[in-house]
A and B are shown apart, each in its own frame.
Chain A
Amino acid sequence: MFALVALAAARLVFPEAQARAQPAPPPSASPPASPTSPQASPSASESPANGTAPEPPPPAEDADNVEPSTEQPGELETEVYQDHEFGPAILIEDINITGNTATQSQVIRRVLPITAGEVLRASDKRLREARFKVLALGFFRDVTVALRKGSQRGRVIVDVKVVERGTLVLNRLWFGSTTLTPWWLGADVGERNMFGLGIAVGAGFIFARHGHVDDARDQYAGELRVADPSVGGTRWGASWVTTLVHGSEPYRVSGGDRDISAERQRAFPYRRLGMRLGATYNVSPLTRLAVGLRAESISATVPSAPTRELISGETIAVDLHLDPGASRVVTASIGFDRDSRPEPILPHAGDRLLVMAELGGGLIGSSYDFATLFGSYEHYWPVRGNQALAIKLVGGLVVGDAPRFDLIHIADVDHMLTPRALGLVLSTSVPLALLRTRADKPTYGDLGGSASVEYAVEMFRGRGKRRVYGADVFLGVGLWGLADRADLRARDTTLFEALPIDIYFDAGMRLDTDIGTFELTIANAVGRLR
Chain B
Amino acid sequence: MKRALVAAALLSIATPALADDDKPEFQHMRFVESGEYLTVSTQRPGGIGKLFDAGAYESLRTEPTCTVAIRIQITPLDSNTPVAEQLLVREAVFDMWDETYTLRLDQPGGSKLIKKVKAHAEVLKWLTAIDDVPVAPLSALPIDRVFVLKMIVQLNPVSGELLAEVRRSLSQGTGGGLDRGGAAFGSFVALFLNPKIADADRVLRIRSQPFFRPP
Contact A28 B160 (CB under 8 A): no
B74-113: which residues lie under 8 A (CB-CB) from chain A?
Answer: 74-75, 77, 80-91, 93-98, 100, 102, 104-109, 111-113
Q: Which residue of chain B has the shortest Cβ distance to A69 in the bound complex? A: B121
Residues of B within 8 A of A325 (CB): none
Q: Which residue of chain B has the shortest Cβ distance to A61 in the bound complex? A: B53
A1-51: which residues lie under 8 A (CB-CB) from chain B?
Answer: 1-2, 4-12, 14-17, 19-22, 24-36, 38-50
- In the complex, 8 of the A-B residue pairs with CB atoms within 8 angstroms, ordered by the A residue number, are A14-B82, A28-B107, A79-B113, A141-B195, A146-B59, A463-B198, A466-B16, A513-B194
A484 at the interface (CB under 8 A from B): no
Contact B132 A29 (CB under 8 A): yes
With a 10 A CB-CB cut-off, give which of B41, B165, B211 has the most chain A CB atoms. B165
Contact B196 A469 (CB under 8 A): yes
A335-355: which residues lie under 8 A (CB-CB) from chain B?
Answer: 339-345, 350, 354
In the assembled complex, the CB of A305 is this many whole angstroms from the nearest CB of chain B, namely: 31
Complex Cα gap A394–B158 (Å) = 33
Complex Cα gap A341–B185 (Å) = 27
A167-203: which residues lie under 8 A (CB-CB) from chain B?
Answer: 167-177, 188, 190, 192, 200, 202
B1 at the interface (CB under 8 A from A): no
Complex Cα gap A75–B118 (Å) = 7
| Given A44-B214, A176-B184, A171-B157 contact (CB < 8 Å) | no
Contact A20 B126 (CB under 8 A): no
A343-371: which residues lie under 8 A (CB-CB) from chain B?
Answer: 343-345, 350, 354
Residues of B within 8 A of A434 (CB): none
Identify which of B85, B180, B199 contacts A8 (C-beta below 8 A).
Answer: B199
In the assembled complex, the CB of B186 is this many whole angstroms from the nearest CB of chain A, namely: 4
Contact A466 B17 (CB under 8 A): yes
A502 at the interface (CB under 8 A from B): no
Identify which of B32, B175, B196 contacts A43 (C-beta below 8 A).
Answer: B32
Interface string of B1-35 (1 = CB under 8 A from A): 00100010010011011101110111110111111
In the assembled complex, the CB of A146 is this many whole angstroms from the nearest CB of chain B, namely: 4
| Given A38-B41, A50-B77, A69-B120, A342-B163 contact (CB < 8 Å) | yes
Complex Cα gap A466–B196 (Å) = 11
Contact A31 B173 (CB under 8 A): no
A118 at the interface (CB under 8 A from B): no
Residues of B within 8 A of A153 (CB): 97
Contact A524 B185 (CB under 8 A): yes
Interface string of B149-189 (1 = CB under 8 A from A): 01010101111111111111111111111111111111111
Residues of A within 8 A of B137 (CB): 22, 25
Contact B108 A344 (CB under 8 A): no
Complex Cα gap A26–B184 (Å) = 58
Identify which of B73, B112, B172 contacts A81 (C-beta below 8 A).
Answer: B112
Contact A63 B106 (CB under 8 A): no
| Given A33-B131, A66-B57, A516-B192, A26-B109 contact (CB < 8 Å) | yes
Contact A468 B13 (CB under 8 A): yes
Residues of B within 8 A of A41 (CB): 32, 34
Residues of A within 8 A of B193 (CB): 141, 165-167, 514-515
Identify which of A29, A68, A340, A343 contacts B134 (C-beta below 8 A).
Answer: A29
Contact B119 A69 (CB under 8 A): yes
Contact B77 A128 (CB under 8 A): no
Interface string of A126-140 (1 = CB under 8 A from B): 011110100111100
Q: Which residue of chain B has the shortest Cβ distance to A156 in the bound complex? A: B96
Interface string of B119-131 (1 = CB under 8 A from A): 1111011101101
Identify which of B21, B25, B183 contacts A56 (C-beta below 8 A).
Answer: B25
A461 at the interface (CB under 8 A from B): yes
Complex Cα gap A146–B60 (Å) = 10
Identify which of B28, B80, B190, B195 contacts A16 (C-beta below 8 A).
Answer: B80
Residues of A within 8 A of B120 (CB): 69, 71
Complex Cα gap A49–B165 (Å) = 46
Contact A53 B209 (CB under 8 A): yes
Q: Which residue of chain A has the shortest Cβ distance to B176 in the bound complex? A: A354
